[in-house]
Amino acid sequence: MSPGDGSGPGGSPVEGHGGVSAGRGEGAVTAWVRGEIEAGGWVRAGAATAQRLRERYGADAVADLSLGQPLEASEAVRQAFERAASAVRPRRFGYMPNLGYPELRERLAEDVDVAGVTAQSVAVTVGAAGAISMALRAFVEAGSEVVVLAPYFSEFRLYSEVCGHRLRVAGSAEDGSLDLEAIAAALNDATGALILNTPCNPSGHVVTEEEMRGLALVLGAHRGRGGRPVLLIVDEVYRRLIYPPHRRVEPFRHYQHTVLCRSFSKDLGVAGERIGYLALHPSLTGAESEAGLALCQRALGYVNAPATAQLALLELPTWDADATPYRERRDTIADAVAAAGLQAAECQGGLYLWVRSPWEDTMAFTAALAERRAVVVPGVAFGVPDHFRICFSVERPALQVAAQALVEAATSRSG
């Protein structure tokens, strides 16, 4: 897969693109914000299209496969939030330590389960987005390049640019595995960090031990901006949604200059509660890093992760997630895609199926799907325009709508 230009949805057959409508306040935002609004918004555009289709045809007739929305939270999680909301403790509604309640940091360090990782290694964050942003802000000098691997989660661009970094995109192999040569070629003396997302949104690839070893060798042999080691930021937002026989690999065992960025958004189904954490490799752990992260939590304006969500995590005896409902949906949609004669990468983890467009014009194909009431996200949103992404984290009837739309669209005409 080669990285595309990532250009935005202007002229997209998906309606309701991210453009700004005329009205009060027009021209008030900065040039950077305007540029990003115009360049991005594909997932949002898909959600807007789905909303219009729902109004026209009814909710049950539409498959909104655009947004990476988790399934509903379990009863145990809901009850934990209820108890947390009514918890009584000193300064329950006051300011708290920037990096989170100490007892939660202890438990999160145990969750990482690597020798040398302590509460001091851990910061409770505003989701994985907050964790990645804090890692970039704390450890990567402004003006550095941040390497991402296409197909990539497009928010990485926003997190990086806000911190004064530039994105450099390296491609991946067709099956989503790492292309170490492409990664090596992307490194230069301005490199500050590389973001690795495993399981990957959108490709579903889970990095293997061998790949991680290879990546560590490539990164270890390089010195980036200021002669410093490249920071490896591992986005593990889907780590509890890995489907056997695939298994998680421990990045800390391979490369020291690593930060793990995690959240409970997807596996516990609490994306709106904005709770996650970051964990530093023991070699990065120390008083200065801790003070630096606390400063960045404030500098980015988060101050601390939401108190109720922190208390809810403490209320839960386990954070284990049941991946079965996701795996079943993955199987259903993978079968539907195969039945439609389409090629998809194996989804080894996460919520998405990454499908090669059967037509040269991917936008035309995704529009053909939308006409059949199935809304997906074109691959240009992830830097690879000849694919599209299906989010299968939806109610089962929607998967049936999607299955029919895929077959009909794929056989409607040749692209």
Ligand X SMILES: Cc1ncc(COP(=O)(O)O)c(C=O)c1O
Residue nearest to ligand X (CB): 127
Output the six-digit token pair for 206. 């889970």
Task: Spell out where 316-414 has E strands.
Answer: 352-356, 374-375, 377-378, 387-391
* Spatial CB neighbours of 24, under 8 Å, sequence gap ≥ 6: none
* Spatial CB neighbours of 130, under 8 Å, sequence gap ≥ 6: 274, 276, 297, 300, 302, 305
| Minimum separation from the CB atom of position 359 to ligand X (A) | 26
| Minimum separation from the CB atom of position 235 to ligand X (A) | 5
Name the residue nearer to ligand X (CB basis): 64 or 405: 64
Name the residue nearer to ligand X (CB basis): 40 or 127: 127
What backbone phi and psi angles, to 5 degrees, belong to 235? Answer: -85, 110
Site mask for ligand X (CB under 6 A), range 141-170, x = bound: ------------x-----------------
Name the residue nearer to ligand X (CB basis): 48 or 234: 234
| Minimum separation from the CB atom of position 204 to ligand X (A) | 11
Q: Which range in 13-21, 97-105, 121-129, 212-220 contacts ligand X by CB under 6 A?
A: 121-129
Helices (H) and strands (E) in the chain, counts: 13, 12
Is position 271 an interface residue for ligand X (rule: CB under 6 A)?
Answer: yes
Among 3, 9, 68, 100, binds ligand X (CB under 6 A): 68
Give the burial class of 367: count Cβ atoms within 10 A of its Cβ; 0-12 exposed, 13-18 middle, 19 or more buried: middle
| Minimum separation from the CB atom of position 196 to ligand X (A) | 10
Strand partners, 64: 375
| Minimum separation from the CB atom of position 210 to ligand X (A) | 22
Contact between residue 323 and residue 243 where contact means Cβ atoms under 8 Å apart = yes
Q: Which range in 33-41, 53-61, 122-130, 139-147 contacts ligand X by CB under 6 A?
A: 122-130
- Site residues for ligand X, window 171-210 (CB under 6 A)? 197, 201
Nearest one of 13, 66, 18 to 39, comparing CA atoms:
18
The Cα 389–Cα 201 span in angstroms is 9
- Site residues for ligand X, window 220-249 (CB under 6 A)? 235, 237
Rg of the chain (C-alpha set): 21
Name the residue nearer to ligand X (CB basis): 66 or 368: 66
The Cα 154–Cα 36 span in angstroms is 11
Output the six-digit token pair for 198. 């495993």
Is position 384 an interface residue for ligand X (rule: CB under 6 A)?
Answer: no
* Spatial CB neighbours of 74, under 8 Å, sequence gap ≥ 6: 268, 269, 322
How many amino acids of this chain bind ligand X (CB under 6 A)? Answer: 13
| Minimum separation from the CB atom of position 379 to ligand X (A) | 15
| Minimum separation from the CB atom of position 130 to ligand X (A) | 6
Q: What number of other Cβ atoms are within 10 A of residue 211's Cβ?
A: 20
Name the residue nearer to ligand X (CB basis): 149 or 355: 149
Contact between residue 402 and residue 65 where contact means Cβ atoms under 8 Å apart = yes
Q: Which range in 88-96, 124-132, 169-177, 242-250 contacts ligand X by CB under 6 A?
A: 124-132
3-class state of residue 56 by DSSP: helix
- Residue count (the chain): 415
- Site residues for ligand X, window 9-38 (CB under 6 A)? none
| Minimum separation from the CB atom of position 269 to ligand X (A) | 11
Is position 269 an interface residue for ligand X (rule: CB under 6 A)?
Answer: no
Q: Which amino acid appears at position 37 of this protein?
A: I
Is position 265 an interface residue for ligand X (rule: CB under 6 A)?
Answer: yes
Among 62, 73, 112, 128, binds ligand X (CB under 6 A): 128
The Cα 147–Cα 137 span in angstroms is 15
Among 154, 203, 263, 285, binds ligand X (CB under 6 A): 263
- Site residues for ligand X, window 352-371 (CB under 6 A)? none
Binding interface with ligand X (CB under 6 A)? 68, 127-129, 153, 197, 201, 235, 237, 263, 265, 271, 276
